Each structure stands twice: as C-alpha cells, then as structure tokens.
Amino acid sequence: MFGIIGAMQEEIDLLHSQMDDRVEMNRSGIVFYTGSLNEKPVVLCKCGVGKVNAAVYTQVLIDRFNVKQVIFTGVAGAVDPELNIGDVVISTSCLQHDIDVTALGFARGVIPYQPSSEWKADEQLVAMAKEAGEIVLPGRVKLGKVLSGDQFIADRNQVQELFEVFGGACTEMEGAAVAQVCAMNDVGYVVIRSMSDKADGSASVNFAEFTIEASNNSYRIVNEMLKRI
Ligand code: ADE
C-alpha cells in the first residue's frame, strides 16, 4: 500500500479525483482516502502546512494503514538558480533548514544528539520517479536535496543563502518531517515537488499564479509512477 501525501488541496485535487473505489476514512481525527490509482492500492491525505502536520499524518499512515512506502507530492520554491517555475525536483534527501542550535556549536540544520539530520530518499522510489519524470516532463526533472522549514521563503538573499549553506535544490515546508518519520519507522519515501516560485521577492505572487500548474506536474509524475509499477 502506497501512502500519498500533499499539504494543500491543490496538491491532492487531481489524485483525489482520479481515485477509483474511493472511500473517505477518519483515523485519529484525520481524514484519509483509500482506493486505487492505476489499479494500485493507495491511501491519500492532505496533511496541512508545516512540519508538525506532516509528521503526524505520516505516522498515522504508517500505524493505522500499514503503509510501507510514502510519496509526497506538491509544490516548492526553487533554491537551485538553474530551476525554473514548473520544473520538478525529486528528492535524493531531505533536511530541516530551520533547525538552528549554532549557539551550542552545532552546524545549521543539525539536530543535536541524533544519528542523522538528513534523510536519504528510497533509491527505488527515486529511480521510479525519475523514469516517470523523463516520460511526462522530459528535460525538466532534477534530482536534489529538499530543504524543509516552517517558513515560506520569499527573499532573494535568504534563498541564495540556503543554496550556499545547504546546496539544496528547492525549499518547502513538509518533506523533511515526512522523511524523518519514515526513517524512524524504516519506511521508504520520496518527495516530488514542482516549482511554483523561486523563493525570491516575487514568490508570493508566483505561488498564487503557478501552484495549480506546478501541482499538475507533480501529479503527472506520481500518476506515471503508479502506472509503471
Ligand atoms: N512552497 C512553495 N513555495 C515555497 C516557498 N517559497 N517557501 C516555502 N515553501 C514553499
């Protein structure tokens, strides 16, 4: 059973409308949709914005639906200057860019006293997403590090700094939380994000204009992945 997560309605709309035998279920006070996509059993949910929401939904997917693989689909702000709006990033890993314990001598993005602060995506899921991406959006898909934080980044200097400090491909608000929970439960994950904006001074305007189009690009890759399994 695949778990598929999006943060906002726009990010799950197409998957929701394409599901067969869709049943709405409530678990731990949270709404999930079970059914199938391209004849593969899936459970879909909209987790809401931010790392805490994403973490809770991921744990419920694992505990209550016995999900063994998680796909996160949605939009992000481009950090790598080579990426354009509509391009897609497939996660090789995720980290939390907003954890900052530098005052105690830890590097930015490092969670103290933990074996890891950057979680690798499942290699098989990454390869499947890459293959699917090459079919539906040739030349517009890049593998890279996803930077997550409880912040909408909309500043040219800040996004440049994220690129310099972490070497990230894109920034969003949930992926690393999903990744951490998956790692704690030995469950594979991949994050697939299409760029709605460039996390700069135009990000708010671009996000409003391009979120639906970018969500559509992520959806197309998830759909193609499930077709090919
Ligand atoms: N999701 C889409 N664009 C984003 C941005 N600029 N910052 C954080 N999350 C985002």
Domain boundaries, the chain: 2-228
Q: State in Å: Cα 39 to ligand 1 middle.
A: 32
Does 78 contact ligand 1 (Cβ within 6 A)? no
Q: Which CATH class is domain 2-228?
A: alpha beta
User: Which helix (DSSP H) or strand (DSSP E) does residue 33 occupy?
Assistant: strand 30-37
Q: Which of 161, 166, 168, 159 is nearest to 197 (CA)?
A: 159
Single out the catalytic residue among 118, 197, 200, 224.
197
Q: State in Å: Cα 29 to ligand 1 middle.
A: 27
pLDDT at 55: 98
> For the segment 4-28, what is each residue's pLDDT rounded down to a tens digit?
999 999 999 999 999 999 999 999 8
Ligand 1 pocket test: pick from 10, 173, 194, 198 the residue with the most ligand atoms within 8 Å of its Cβ: 173
Flag whether pLDDT at 193 surpasses 90.
Answer: yes
In the predicted model, what is the mean pLDDT of the chain? 97
Does 152 contact ligand 1 (Cβ within 6 A)? yes
Specify whether 197 is catalytic. yes
Flag whether pLDDT at 159 surpasses 90.
Answer: yes
Question: Left (φ > 0), alpha (ψ -120 to 50) or beta: where does 168 sit?
Answer: beta
pLDDT at 29: 87
Flag whether pLDDT at 229 surpasses 90.
Answer: no
Single out the catalytic residue among 11, 80, 118, 224.
11
The whole-number average pLDDT for the span 61-70 is: 97
Cβ contact 181:173 at 8 Å: no
Specify whether 11 is catalytic. yes
Instruction: Work out which ligand 1 atom sits closest to the CA atom of 197.
Output: 3
pLDDT at 101: 98
The whole-number average pLDDT for the span 65-93 is: 98
Encoded amino acid at 73, one letter: T
